[in-house]
Chains A and B, each alone.
Chain A
Amino acid sequence: MDHITICRCEEVTLEDIKNTAKKYQCSAREIKLRTRAGMGYCGGRTCRPAVDAVMEQVTGEKPGHDIPLKVQPPVRPVSLATLRGMQDDK
């Protein structure tokens, strides 16, 4: 169970998150900075709810939008060519 990969972009397992949360008693944001969960290519859009859920279980931190794991623009990764209007956004 603990070997489940939570963040696929950065290969962070449930075990990594649980151990880090227990060792440092930290917030979801600190988990992100320590383990890189949610900092990969997809921008955390895939694993963020899972990280929040794990944190709620381990430290009792409720997912919120004030500091922990807030969503930053751009909501989708876009290429510079798209921003310049060189091609249609797919």
Chain B
Amino acid sequence: MTNNRRIVDHPVLGKLSDRKEITFTYDGQTYTGYEGDTIASALLANGVRTLRVHEESGKPRGIYCNIGHCFECRVTVNNETGVRACLTEIKDQMVVESGRVLPSPLASTEHDTLPRTYAEFVKQQEEEKGEV
């Protein structure tokens, strides 16, 4: 494991070589982190910045607030959904999965033309009758 994204010798936190290595999987791929790493920090050190995609648009999401406030980094850990990667420490053999695009049954291309109120609906109906 290369440590070019980590501080290998910290004046307060000590040497990285003193810490225990832990392996975990993210989307089926095995990664190595250190004891005390959060899921987000371990993945960031491995060069993984996208932790999930937006459920509808599929745009990538990763660490945003990093203090457990925004839930942008939520992942599935050992089949438990909605776990914040920035707050959860990695455990040995942890199975982490990213969030994916969900089917969107409400996607509509004609939402601009649909009536918003009953009055608009009645008006539309009358207009259609008038045309026929």
Contacts and interface: CB of A to CB of B under 8 A. Distances in A.
Given A8-B61, A90-B87, A79 B82 contact: yes
B87 A8 contact: no
Interface of B: 54, 56-57, 59, 61, 64-65, 69-72, 74, 82, 84, 87-88
Contact of A46 (B56, B59, B70, B84): B70
A61 interface: no
B87 A42 contact: no
Task: For chain A, give the interface size range.
Answer: 10 to 19
Contacts of B84: 90
Contacts of A77: 71, 82
Interface of A: 8-9, 11, 41-42, 45-46, 77, 79, 90
Given A11-B54, A42-B70, 6 more contacts: A8-B61, A9-B72, A41-B71, A42-B71, A46-B72, A77-B71
